């Protein structure tokens, strides 16, 4: 006979996993927005009479606000409630998407993009922060795999949906796709997710908030400018240097706050945990390599292989297929194994060290194979190494995130997750800038433009897209072949750099990652939230972890 306790627990489990689906939808919409704009830039240049500087700010306004607001967003979630803040951020993201879609000037679009970045700065860390609160350490690998898979799913879906919309509708439609997804996420979070918060009632570290926001924004802007104007650009160097100086001041301030017995914005003692330190560091390194790859390959499909935007997006799907397989296998390998008859679960087959090392090594090997890519490479060849790269990523990235999250107590999961997300965001920005520079440098060095007027040659050297346009205008098949081969050579060199990063990550994981993931503390034996973490004026529904009934009904 099934008891009421078992029925209640089953309902609790269903609500938690449906709430996780809401989180996955939330991060999916952010992933879509990261890539969908790049396809619309040429159209925006005409429709809004946008200059090159305006186009750059359409992208940079989002990135700068996102980087600067990540750390305070996590801390505020710990203080006022993560569910409450996530609902507000989703609503703001939807409104800002509408503002982007119906912007009538470049200034309006830049402002709306900045607001989108602010909302994303809340959504991204809080989607990780609630995982140690809602799920036990045994369940967390599966939860991270689902949220991580949704994040990466946005990368190919952005170009696919964006390309189709731009081919059939006006440019604002690429932002309107966010709205129905946001509405679904809002309803699901409101109905299914329990509220949680930290225990601290101390004042928010205002000075630390200002210093961290300034440091991250300055470093991000300097790196973006260096990627566009070269690494010898004086403004880029000055901005990056200022950002590093402010970052040093921030670390010193946080230490002083901690010594004074107050709660800092960033708990620097987290770096005493090998799981947090190396899980965060290695996931940042892979973000560096991954975003360079996702930046270069769509251009390869568009300008070298000659596919349209939709076709280019579709050819990114093998990476997602490999990623899905890697996520599934990795989650099974590091989850406790159930036994029948009520016997205690067996330990996981493997810990984070062997899974992480294997994932990074597989990525490195696949990227080395990818360095053989040429302008005439078949779609099957590219799809093959793309899929294996995704498989390695699916093994490694969630494993690193789980190792880092395992060091976080639920009451500090917001600020800790924000620190992880901030490091990965900066790593991704640096990756695009550095690997983009490598790609552009090799592309220009491989061009043979004898006989072309200097102004025309300068246009060809500017980018592969410009080179293809010039060759088409001149009806020169020889110039087109030169441009294609030069860009393919740049891609190959960039892939060697990505492979080296993955190989170094494998070595570091082998040397420093703990064999077993740490477990977050702050939960009772049933994985329920302690009473002080519940929001007093809005307790979660009965049967959901975090409520008294949920705790009572836990097995």
- Token digits for 452? 């072309």
User: Residue 460 corresponds to which tokens in the numbers above?
Assistant: 């060809």
With a pLDDT cut of 90, the percent of the chain lying above it is 18
State phi, psi for 545 to the nearest 5 degrees: -55, 130
pLDDT in tens, 250-288: 999 989 988 887 778 888 888 888 888 998 899 888 888
Give the lowest-confidence range in 47-61, 229-243, 416-430.
Answer: 47-61
Cα 555 from Cα 553, distance rounded (Å)? 6
- CB of 81 closer than 8 Å to CB of 227: no
Contact 464, 299 (CB under 8 A): yes
Distance CA 273, CA 403 (A): 10
53-57, 335-339, 482-486 — most confident range: 482-486
Of the listed ranges 340-354, 482-496, 513-527, the least confidently predicted one is 513-527
Give the pLDDT confidence of 57-99 residue by residue, as tens digits.
Answer: 787 788 788 878 888 887 787 777 788 888 999 999 999 999 9
pLDDT for residue 497: 93
What is the Cα–Cα distance from 370 to 440, expressed in whole angstroms?
Answer: 18
Q: Which residues of 294-323 are buried (b: 16+ CB within 10 A; e: fewer)?
A: bbbbbbbbbbbbebebbbbbbbbbbbbbbb
Compute the distance between CA of residue 306 and CA of residue 319 in angstroms, rounded to an integer: 20
User: In the prediction, which pLDDT does 12 show?
Assistant: 59
- With a cut of 80, say whether residue 373 has pLDDT above it: yes
- For 329, other C-beta atoms within 10 Å of its C-beta total 17
pLDDT (tens digit per residue) in 174-209: 888 888 888 888 888 888 777 776 665 557 778 888
> Could you tell me which residues come within 8 angstroms of residue 511 by beta carbon, excluding any fewer than 6 positions away?
none
Predicted pLDDT of residue 511:
92
User: N- to C-terminal Cα distance for the chain?
Assistant: 16
Q: What are the extents of the domains in the chain?
A: 1-202, 205-264, 273-337+346-521
3-state secondary structure of 449: coil
DSSP state for residue 549 in the 8-state scheme: H
pLDDT at 553 (0 to 100): 31
- pLDDT tens digit string along 155-177? 667 777 877 887 788 888 888 88
Average confidence (pLDDT) over 39-48: 76
Residue-level pLDDT at 526: 36
Chain CA centroid to CA 355, Å? 21
Report helix angle 274-299 to 352-370, nearest 10: 20
Percent of the chain with pLDDT over 70: 84
Q: How many residues does the chain have?
A: 555
Alpha-carbon distance of 344 to 555, in angstroms, equals: 13
Most confident option among 33-42, 360-369, 389-398? 360-369
Highest-pLDDT range among 118-132, 133-147, 499-513: 499-513
The CATH number of domain 273-337+346-521 is 3.90.1150.10: no
DSSP-based helix, strand, coil % in the chain, nearest 5:
75, 0, 25
Structural tokens at position 1: 């006979």
Count of C-beta atoms within a 10 Å radius of residue 95: 16
| Average of per-residue pLDDT across 298-302 | 82
User: For all residues of the chain together, what is the average pLDDT?
Assistant: 79
Right CATH number for 1-202 from 1.20.1250.20, 1.20.120.1730, 3.40.50.620, 3.20.20.80?
1.20.1250.20
Say which residues have a Cβ less than 8 Å from residue 399's Cβ, sequence separation at least 6. Answer: 141, 330, 334, 352, 355, 356, 359
Output 22 or 537, whichever has higher pLDDT. Answer: 22
For residue 343, the model assigns a pLDDT of: 59
pTM: 0.78
Q: Counting beta carbons within 10 angstroms of the beta carbon of residue 357, is it exposed (0 to 12), middle (13 to 18) or buried (19 or more)?
A: buried
Is 537 in a helix, a strand, or coil? coil
Which tens digit of pLDDT belongs to each residue from 12-32? 567 778 888 888 888 888 877
Least Cα distance to 190 among 91, 305, 256 occurs for: 91
pLDDT, tens digit, 9 for 90 and up, residues 454-507? 888 888 888 788 888 888 888 888 888 988 999 999 999 999 999 999 999 999
- pLDDT of 525 above 60: no
The pLDDT confidence band at residue 509, using thresholds 50, 70 and 90, is very high
CA atoms of 414 and 128, how far apart (whole Å)? 8
Comparison of pLDDT for 152 and 145, the residue scoring more: 145
């Amino acid at each position: 006979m099934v008891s009421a306790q078992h029925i209640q627990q089953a309902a609790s489990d269903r609500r938690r996993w449906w709430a996780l689906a809401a989180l996955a939808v939330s991060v999916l919409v952010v992933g879509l927005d990261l890539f969908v704009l790049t396809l619309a830039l040429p159209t925006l240049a005409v429709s809004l009479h946008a200059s090159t500087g305006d186009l750059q700010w359409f992208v940079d306004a989002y990135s700068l606000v996102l980087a600067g607001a990540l750390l305070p967003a996590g801390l505020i979630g710990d203080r006022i409630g993560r569910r409450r803040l996530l609902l507000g951020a989703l609503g703001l993201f939807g409104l800002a998407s509408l503002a982007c879609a119906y912007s009538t000037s470049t200034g309006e679009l830049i402002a709306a993009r900045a607001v989108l970045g602010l909302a994303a700065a809340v959504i991204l860390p809080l989607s990780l922060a609630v995982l140690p609160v809602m799920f036990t350490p045994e369940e967390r690998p599966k939860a991270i795999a689902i949220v991580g898979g949704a994040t990466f799913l946005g990368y190919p879906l952005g170009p696919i949906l964006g390309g189709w919309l731009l081919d059939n509708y006006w440019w604002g439609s690429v932002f309107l796709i966010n709205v129905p997804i946001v509405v679904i996420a809002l309803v699901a979070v409101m109905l299914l997710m329990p509220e949680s918060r930290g225990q601290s009632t101390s004042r928010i570290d205002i000075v630390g908030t200002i210093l961290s926001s300034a440091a991250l924004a300055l470093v991000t802007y300097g790196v973006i400018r260096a990627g566009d104007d070269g690494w010898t650009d004086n403004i880029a160097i000055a901005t990056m240097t200022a950002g590093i100086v402010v970052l040093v001041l921030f670390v010193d301030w946080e230490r002083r706050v901690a010594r004074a017995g107050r709660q800092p914005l960033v708990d620097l003692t987290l770096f005493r945990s090998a799981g947090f330190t190396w899980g965060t560091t290695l996931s940042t390194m892979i973000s560096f390599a991954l975003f360079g790859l996702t930046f270069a390959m769509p251009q390869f499909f568009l300008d070298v292989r000659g596919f349209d935007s939709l076709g280019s997006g579709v050819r990114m799907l093998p990476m997602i297929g490999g990623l899905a397989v890697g996520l599934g296998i990795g989650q099974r390998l590091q989850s406790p194994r159930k036994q029948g008859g009520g016997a205690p679960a067996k330990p996981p087959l493997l810990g984070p060290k062997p899974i992480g090392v294997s994932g990074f090594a597989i990525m490195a090997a696949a990227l080395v194979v990818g360095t053989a890519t040429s302008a005439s490479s078949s779609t099957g060849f590219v799809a093959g190494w793309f899929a294996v790269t995704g498989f390695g990523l699916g093994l490694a990235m969630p494993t690193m995130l789980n190792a880092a999250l395992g060091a976080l107590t639920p009451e500090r999961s917001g600020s800790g997750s924000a620190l992880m997300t901030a490091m990965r965001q900066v790593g991704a920005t640096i990756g695009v800038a550095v690997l983009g520079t490598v790609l552009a440098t090799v592309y220009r060095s491989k061009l043979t433009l004898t006989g072309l007027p200097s102004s025309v040659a300068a246009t060809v050297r500017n980018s592969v897209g410009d080179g293809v346009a010039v060759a088409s205008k001149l009806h020169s098949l020889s110039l087109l072949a030169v441009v294609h081969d030069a860009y393919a050579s740049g891609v190959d060199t960039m892939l060697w750099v990505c492979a080296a990063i993955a190989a170094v990550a494998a070595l570091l994981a082998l040397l420093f990652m703990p064999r077993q993931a740490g477990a977050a503390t702050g939960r009772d034996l049933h994985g329920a939230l302690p009473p002080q973490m519940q929001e007093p004026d809005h307790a979660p529904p009965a049967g959901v972890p975090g409520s008294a009934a949920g705790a009572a009904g836990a097995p």
